[in-house]
Amino acid sequence: MENKATIIIATHKKYQMPADKMYLPVHVGAEGKKDSDGNDLDLGYVKDNTGDNISLKNPSFCELTGLYWAWKNVDSDYVGLAHYRRHFSLSKKSKDPFDNILTYDELAPLLSKYRVFVPKKRKYYIETLYSHYAHTHYAEHLDVTKEIIAEKYPDYTDSCNKVYKQTYGYMFNMMIMRKDLFQNYCEWLFNILFELEKRIGESSKELSFFQGRFYGRVSEIIFNVWLDYQVKSGTISQKDIKEIPCIYTEKIDWNRKVKSFIGAKFGHKKYEGSF
């Protein structure tokens, strides 16, 4: 029996999408959005304010409102998340990045071999995941998250300590996972984030719009905590995890990105925009 995979693509705007039927574009943050005529904004995609959803949290939860929607509303053997401008890719077929996006035909033979697919590790070299976050955002977010993990999931404490000290991690909130693992992860993640929201919610109102989107950034880091514990506990093995490169459909301003990274590390300048 062929495994079925669904990868949602989190997007907040109309954009070119892969033609492969494995992909399901999801309009994240759809709740309350209007077009120029005052009607509900319709991008032609599934909206994250349908079914069981947390669409209203999108300003702070970012693509996680799409992840939550997938958790509650998608029924596939494997479920994953990508972004409208960032995708998994196993091969380079042409100069057009959309021709190089992972297809179901490429993924299908791997589904019987692996249970978790992640983007290749992002390496920070001179920063740990914790220090980089503290320099670019606010350390309090990770400190309180660590407290919550210790209270709700004490068995994950060692993994949390380990991951915070790492100089690399699987980022972007991108993954493809077997359904049972996907559901386990989402239940764990949102239980932590909803508690984080209770404890930091009011103080977060003083943050800029960009800095206020921290729940999505915290989840990038603690995904590594969850995954490390799955291996440590024997739920999965390292051999069950497959790294896949990512490609961007838009040009990255690496000069600005590097300058901002150095400015945060040595000049204590918080990030105030994506690159």
Q: Print the SS3 string covering 25-75.
A: EEECCCCCCECCCCCECCCCCEECCCCCCCHHHHHHHCCHHHHHHHHHHCC
- Residue 75: the pLDDT is 97
Closest CA to 100 of 250, 251, 248, 275: 248
- pLDDT tops 90 at residue 100: yes
**Tokens found for residue 132:** 């980089």
pLDDT for position 274:
55
Contact 7, 24 (CB under 8 A): yes
Q: Hey, what are 209's tokens?
A: 């719009």
pLDDT digits (tens, 9 = 90+) for 121-165: 999 999 999 999 999 999 999 999 999 999 999 999 999 999 999
Look at residue 275 in the predicted model and tell me its pLDDT. 46
pLDDT at 258 exceeding the cut of 60:
no
Model confidence at 209, pLDDT cuts 50, 70, 90, reads confident
- Give the HSE-up count for residue 156: Cα atoms under 13 Å, Cβ half-sphere: 25
Indicate the pLDDT class of residue 201, thresholds 50, 70 and 90: confident
Name residues whose C-beta falls within 8 Å of residue 177's C-beta, 6 or more positions apart in sequence. 78, 79, 80, 115, 116, 117, 185
CA distances from 173 to 64, 160, 217, 218 (A): 8, 17, 8, 10
- On the question of pLDDT at 265 being above 60, the answer is no
Consecutive H or E run containing 86:
strand 86-88
- Give me the chain's average pLDDT, please: 92
Q: Please answer whether residues 80 and 174 qualify as being in contact, where contact means their C-beta atoms are separated by less than 8 angstroms.
A: yes
Name the phi and psi angles at 195, rounded to 5.
-70, -40
- The answer on pLDDT for 268 being more than 70 is no
At 129, is the secondary structure helix, strand, or coil? helix
SS3 136: helix
90 burial (CB, 10 Å; 0-12 / 13-18 / 19+) is: middle
Other C-beta atoms within 10 Å of 40: how many?
12
pLDDT at 262: 56
Q: Is the pLDDT of residue 204 over 90?
A: no
Domain boundaries, the chain: 5-267
Beta carbons within 10 angstroms of residue 47's beta carbon: 20
CB burial of residue 221 (10 Å; 0-12, 13-18, 19+): buried
Query: DSSP code of 100?
Result: S
Paired strand residues for 175 = 81
When pLDDT is averaged across residues 238-266 and rounded to a whole number, the result is: 74
Question: Is 0.85 surpassed by the pTM of this model?
Answer: yes
CA–CA separation, 43 vs 114, rounded Å?
Answer: 34
pLDDT digits (tens, 9 = 90+) for 32-91: 999 999 999 999 999 999 999 999 999 999 999 999 999 999 999 999 999 999 999 999
**Is the pLDDT at 17 greater than 60, yes or no?**
yes
Span 105-126, pLDDT tens digits: 999 999 999 999 999 999 999 9
Q: For residue 172, which amino acid is it?
A: F
Please give the average per-residue pLDDT across 239-267, as a whole number.
72
Say if residue 29's pLDDT is above 70: yes
- What is the rounded distance in angstroms from the CA atom of residue 114 to the CA atom of residue 117? 7
What pLDDT, on a 0 to 100 scale, did the predictor assign at position 241? 98
